[in-house]
Amino acid sequence: MIRLCTTSLWDKNATHSSYPYLTECFRNTILQWVPISIFWLILPLWLFVLNRRQIKSQSLIVSRLFINKMILTCLFIFLQLIHIINYFVPSTEVKDFVYLFTRILYLITTICILWLINYDRLKNIFSSGLLFIYWLLVLLATIPDLIDYSIKIYQQIQSLSWWIKFIAACLQFCVVLCLFIANCFAEKYNAPEATLHERPLVPEFYASFPSRILYSWVTPLILKGYRKPLTEKDCWELPMSERTATVVDQVRNYMKCWKLNTQYEKISMKKIQILDSNPLEDEHRNLLNNIPTVDVKQSSSKNRKTSMFWYALFCAYKEEIFIGAVIKLVHDILQFSGPMILKLLLKDFTDLNKPKWLGVFYASLLSIVVFCQIILLRAYFHCQFLVGLRFRSAITGLIYRKSLKLSNASKQETTTGEIVNLMAIDASRFAEVTQHIHVLWSGPFQLLIALILLYREMKFSIIPGVTLLFIMIPTNLYLHRIQKKLTFKQMKIKDQRIKMMNEILNGIRVLKLYAWEVAFIRSITRIRDEELGYIRKKAILTAISNILWTFTPILVGILTFATYVLSSDTNILTADKAFVSLALFNLLRSPLVVFPNVMTNVVEARVSNKRIENFLNNEEIDEDAVDKISMDSNKYAVKIENSSFRWSNLVDDPIILKNINMQIEQGSLIAFIGMVGSGKSSILAALLGEINKVHGHVSISGTIAYVPQTAWIMNTTLKENILFGRDFDRHLYNRVIEACALKQDLDMLPANDETEIGEKGINLSGGQRQRVSLARALYSNADIFLLDDPLSAVDAHVGAHIFKNVIGPKGLLYGKTRLLVTHGISHLSKCDDIIVVSQGEIIDHGSYNDLMIRSSILQDFVNSVPTSHDEGYQRQASDLESSKSIPTTPLELIANLFESIEHDTQQNELQPILNEIAEEKRKTIEKEFVQTGSVKLNIFFIYIRSCKLFMVGLVMIFFGLTICASLSTNIWLSKWTDTVKSKTLTNNTSSRSNQIYYMNIYSILGLIQGFLSFTMQLIQKFASYIAGRKLHWMILIGILHAPSSFFDTTPIGRIINRFSKDIDAVDSTLPNGFSQSLTVFITVIATLIILIYGSWFALIELLPLACLFIYIQRVYVSSSRQLRRLDSITRSSIYANFSETIQGLTSIRAYQAQQRFIDLSDKFMDRNQSCHLASSVANRWLGLRLEMIANLLTLFTAITAVFMRDRLTAGTVGLMITFALQITHSLNMLVRVSSDVETNIVSVERIDEY
């Protein structure tokens, strides 16, 4: 039988002496097998990740770093071969078989690494985390061998074998050190994708592994923001895998798969790979596009109980979610090793006979474990943040795409304000819930582990505490159920408020004309008061829930200590039991505090999920209602056969077009006439597929251009409004400008056709807007032109010019199919055919002369039109007719009537606006102002005054009292354990009475602390409620009393963003931020006081660390606040673009420009996500560095206690280290929540701006 080792594996005397060492057997087995085992355990997961990546052409580049790695790895293999050969060389020295076995393991592992290095390169891995960890562990495992051989040589052991081992160990150490250093760097990134954008790609994706885990790749951005204010160009470009288009395709893929019938459910989701450059492979795209409609409906009904949206989001990113869960699990396990190491340290502290190096070792081990926790926690949050980032992109992209497909019935049911809320609020809630979603299982897991460890310390004395926990959990669940109902009701009221604000802003000129500001202020205030009622109830419930969870660890500690002391006379509460239990109670605090917030987030996310699903399930426009036929196969450009139409698919909805039959030849000019409301515009809407077809057949041969009754003008240059995404053709463009009589108008504009047109064409007259809309149609060079009363907004002579040069027989559109809805009579004789419409039916058609002879209706129509106005006065009637095709509110209808008054005086109206924009010739819409530097103290004073000074004063008083109560409770516990330790326990009665005395005082102090904390939080919630009410009143008054010129230069989306996102921040985010700030401040201040209380030497440690803390905090906040502002600014562009899209939805669909607007929306979303990502990783950068500082403080505190153990008591040391462990998390939370408050106070700044 082969013996592995000739020496023992572990020698207690060797490790517990003043000069410790490890046995040769331990060095050759455990120490060497640990890195090898970890490598082979992680390798399958690493290969799984690599196999999901595509081999790219640029990955074939062979760099100098790659060559060095290969050479060094081969050299390491050569050294292992030398060790193996040396084993078989005859020698008088006894050689352990384990030595040979270990070298063979190294040889096999290193050969695998040689292959893995090349495979990483093929898979475009710039830096391998697996190899970095492996070589780091091998380097650490090599050091004890080197030290031992050096000692042997120093002791003048002249054995040749020892010299060979020493030289081999030195060479191996050098090679491993070089390999470790080589794996600290990343391969050079030279992908073509990086050259396609002005901004660099996110450095994380090509940074080295140490840079990724330490967030060093963020440092250049942080320092840049410290030196000068950051701009949007300083943020990185998102990689293809993170962009909205890719993410939406991925989620939509799984949404389609969810709808499959059982025969399609067998398709493996693993076959669907999302590639960086091509989100969906063609074969999978074809598969998903060919899903039968019947099967979709059947499957949808069968799976109605399952949330389609949750399913799609989870399946799309299940791998990332799983990786986050693994990281969280390892972190949770590691964090419970801290109290166990603390127990060993305190026991070592009480035994003065043990060597001091053992205490230093325990302190160092504690610091290393905490360091690993810090790295893992940062990695977990970043992983979950990226998932949340994709969730938000997917939701926003899906909502935008759905909006482009909404039917008329859906548009009537869903307002623009409600959809903006889905994008601004509901999408953000999905992103927020991913940050802590794993707490749902991690919280109970941490609770279970903590209770098991507490049982080891306190035995059955934990039963009362556990009972209390089981009482608290259902109590909080009940409270959260009530919160869910309140949140749902609040969101509905919020939708009403945003809807009304959107209507008010769209009709603001009418409102000011009739001096209706006060009436609408009252209406908005009534809705806001109802919303605040729900917010007030939620605030009370939140305060109760928070104090229950926060106070639970204190109550559990009181009940546990009391039960332990009173259950037996022999139960003595020693320092190691008390403070290890206290450390475990503090670990209980984290899941118990976070769990209710996570439950709240989950409740809100479930409400948001239901709202989003309801919207995504809305009725869509029937894309098959109109058949598209090739022009070569049919002589008719338009054909309608036996068709009837209604505005929605509801049976109760009346039919608006009945039995329509119409055949229009290509190249003809057809006029539609009839009285107001007869259905002329509805026929054009039917040809566009905008209304629901009841029965019949509709076909169109060729492309369509559409000129609506009310011109839709985009907030861009006049030239871009005409081009509408098409390539610029100078010759065609000039012809269009001349034909539409725009030449003179362009000469009057400050920057000619490069002048930016304001929102809704505010700096153009009604006639000019109509001519720009006509020019857009003309430039499109379509086959069929649907002209819905295009001459109604222009003067008679301009109308004659346009008809002659554009619409008429000699115009630019000659040879094109033209369908003209008109109320004029002067051009009817030039039309090829006239169709008479009455009460939704075509009652006659023919040439002008024929109809004048046989049709009394045409005669009546001609007689009803005043010849003096002809084409001029008809606009108001036309607008009334369009109210059915484009659903409007009464306020919007009045706005249209008001605009009709303005149209009569075109040039007089234009001149004042031109004078106002003379300073900035091209720009009409003012760029949103971005504040720079720190938030002014005045903004904080505005918020404080909004909270009322009396309420703020009460909060500060109870804040100070809570700190005093916290200090008293913990210091009293320290005194308790020290007193018990110092007492002679011969008199059991005296000892028992002494413990009861200390226990009673400790209980009273704990209860006082809980009461003061609850009162402080309750007052703070009410103060925030008062502030939310006042700030909304301030911005409402400011907006409605603003001059009309303000709305000429400010997009509605920008204002809506204040009333949605910023007001939501004031109502929810800021109150929670201030509440967390107060809690963290109490912990940090109490910790610092206790450290100084334990030892004045703590000041020596605190001062340099405090300087470093202040520097990092200042550097971070300078960049963070600016990134937060950029996030808010770029978010406004998303909502402004969406509002503009909804207004021109019919035109966008008519021109088949949906994809171009989707791309534009995705671009705005990616810009915002880029700023949002930069803000988040800056937070990770800060958290890591602050927790490192706190970890150093813990290390210095523990080492100081070890070297001063003859002066300090066990209770004092336990108190110091316990709170030093807390500050690791508390310091990060301190700057994080204070920075969050400062960055979220920007919402108050933005509200104050208006």
> What domain count does the chain have?
4
Min mean pLDDT across 40-44, 227-231, 294-298, 834-838 is at 294-298
In this prediction, residue 372 carries a pLDDT of 92
Q: Domain check: are 429 and 481 in the same one?
A: yes
Q: How many other β-carbons are positioned within 10 Å of the β-carbon of residue 1199?
A: 17
The token duo for 820 is 């003209």
Percentage of residues in the chain having pLDDT higher than 90:
18
Host domain of residue 372: 317-618+939-1249
Residue 404 clears pLDDT 80, i.e. is over it: yes
Between 2 and 1153, whose confidence is greater?
Answer: 1153
In this prediction, residue 450 carries a pLDDT of 86
In this prediction, residue 92 carries a pLDDT of 60
Residue 1133 clears pLDDT 60, i.e. is over it: yes
Between 731 and 99, whose confidence is greater?
Answer: 731
Between 759 and 790, whose confidence is greater?
Answer: 790
Residue 758 clears pLDDT 80, i.e. is over it: no
The token duo for 976 is 């308790």
Q: Going by C-beta distance under 8 Å and a sequence separation of 6 or more, which residues neighbour residue 938?
A: none
Residue 213 covered by a domain: no
Say how far apart CA 314 and CA 387 lie, in whole Å: 10
Residue 222 clears pLDDT 60, i.e. is over it: yes
Residue 174 clears pLDDT 90, i.e. is over it: yes
The mean pLDDT value for 713-728 works out to: 90
The mean pLDDT value for 1015-1027 works out to: 88
Contact assessment for residue 1086 and residue 447, using Cβ atoms and an 8 Å cutoff: no
Say how far apart CA 125 and CA 122 lie, in whole Å: 8
Q: How confident is the model at residue 1189 (pLDDT cuts 50, 70, 90)?
A: confident
In this prediction, residue 277 carries a pLDDT of 39
**Which of these three, 147, 182, 217, is where a domain ends?**
182
Say how far apart CA 854 and CA 861 lie, in whole Å: 13
Residue 1185 clears pLDDT 70, i.e. is over it: yes
**Which of these three, 158, 182, 206, is where a domain ends?**
182
The phi and psi torsions of 786 (rounded to 5 degrees) equal -100, 110
The strand pairing partners of 1244, in sequence order, are: none
Between 865 and 1018, whose confidence is greater?
Answer: 1018
How many residues are present in the chain?
1250
In this prediction, residue 18 carries a pLDDT of 66
In this prediction, residue 161 carries a pLDDT of 64
Contact assessment for residue 260 and residue 295, using Cβ atoms and an 8 Å cutoff: yes
The mean pLDDT value for 376-398 works out to: 91
Residue 1185 covered by a domain: yes
The mean pLDDT value for 67-96 works out to: 82
Between 546 and 889, whose confidence is greater?
Answer: 546
Q: Domain check: are 600 and 633 in the same one?
A: no
Q: Domain check: are 572 and 646 in the same one?
A: no
Residue 312 clears pLDDT 80, i.e. is over it: yes
Residue 896 clears pLDDT 60, i.e. is over it: no
Which ranges of 618-703 does DSSP label H, i.e. alpha helix? 680-688
The mean pLDDT value for 822-831 works out to: 84
Q: Domain check: are 677 and 767 in the same one?
A: yes
- pLDDT single digits (tens) 1212-1225: 888 888 888 777 67
For the purposes of burial, counting CB atoms within 10 Å of the CB of 445, is it exposed (0-12), middle (13-18) or buried (19 or more)?
Answer: middle
In this prediction, residue 202 carries a pLDDT of 87
For the purposes of burial, counting CB atoms within 10 Å of the CB of 1111, is it exposed (0-12), middle (13-18) or buried (19 or more)?
Answer: exposed
Residue 559 covered by a domain: yes
The mean pLDDT value for 364-383 works out to: 91
Q: Domain check: are 839 and 951 in the same one?
A: no
The mean pLDDT value for 452-479 works out to: 83
Residue 607 covered by a domain: yes
Residue 73 clears pLDDT 80, i.e. is over it: yes
Between 86 and 1012, whose confidence is greater?
Answer: 1012
Min mean pLDDT across 303-317, 793-807, 1069-1083 is at 303-317
The strand pairing partners of 671, in sequence order, are: 820, 834
In this prediction, residue 647 carries a pLDDT of 82
Q: How confident is the model at residue 307 (pLDDT cuts 50, 70, 90)?
A: low
The token duo for 1084 is 């940090």
Q: Domain check: are 631 and 598 in the same one?
A: no
Residue 761 covered by a domain: yes
- Report which listed range, 350-364, 777-791, 863-877, is most confident: 777-791
Contact assessment for residue 749 and residue 718, using Cβ atoms and an 8 Å cutoff: yes
Specify the pTM: 0.77
The CATH number for 957's domain is 1.20.1560.10
CA 105 to chain CA mean position, Å:
46
Residue 930 covered by a domain: no
Between 920 and 990, whose confidence is greater?
Answer: 990
Q: Domain check: are 1030 and 1058 in the same one?
A: yes
The mean pLDDT value for 820-825 works out to: 86
Min mean pLDDT across 238-252, 659-673, 1200-1214 is at 1200-1214
Say how far apart CA 776 and CA 707 lie, in whole Å: 8
In this prediction, residue 775 carries a pLDDT of 94
Q: How confident is the model at residue 863 (pLDDT cuts 50, 70, 90)?
A: low
In this prediction, residue 920 carries a pLDDT of 46
Count of alpha carbons within 13 Å of 55, Cβ hemisphere only? 8
Residue 323 covered by a domain: yes
The token duo for 663 is 């055949």
Q: Domain check: are 1012 and 1071 in the same one?
A: yes
Say how far apart CA 679 and CA 684 lie, in whole Å: 9
Residue indicated by tokens 């028992």: 992
The mean pLDDT value for 1180-1193 works out to: 87
Q: What is the mean pLDDT of the chain?
A: 80
In this prediction, residue 210 carries a pLDDT of 93
Residue 15 clears pLDDT 90, i.e. is over it: no
Q: Domain check: are 499 and 367 in the same one?
A: yes
Contact assessment for residue 914 and residue 749, using Cβ atoms and an 8 Å cutoff: yes
In this prediction, residue 296 carries a pLDDT of 35
The strand pairing partners of 149, in sequence order, are: none
Residue 986 clears pLDDT 70, i.e. is over it: no
In this prediction, residue 784 carries a pLDDT of 93
Q: Domain check: are 585 and 676 in the same one?
A: no
In this prediction, residue 259 carries a pLDDT of 63
Q: Which helix (H) or strand (E) holds 639?
A: strand 636-646
Residue 1181 clears pLDDT 50, i.e. is over it: yes
Residue 749 clears pLDDT 90, i.e. is over it: no
Q: How confident is the model at residue 1104 (pLDDT cuts 50, 70, 90)?
A: confident
Q: Which of 1009, 996, 1217, 1218 is nearest to 554 (CA)?
A: 1009
Residue 882 clears pLDDT 50, i.e. is over it: no
Q: Domain check: are 614 and 633 in the same one?
A: no
Min mean pLDDT across 83-87, 188-192, 210-214, 433-437 is at 188-192
In this prediction, residue 393 carries a pLDDT of 92
- pLDDT single digits (tens) 242-274: 899 999 998 888 887 766 643 344 444 444 443
Q: How confident is the model at residue 463 (pLDDT cuts 50, 70, 90)?
A: confident
Residue 703 clears pLDDT 70, i.e. is over it: yes
Residue 881 covered by a domain: no
The CATH number for 766's domain is 3.40.50.300
Min mean pLDDT across 48-57, 98-107, 679-688, 1069-1078 is at 48-57
Residue 1239 clears pLDDT 60, i.e. is over it: yes
Q: Domain check: are 1003 and 1130 in the same one?
A: yes
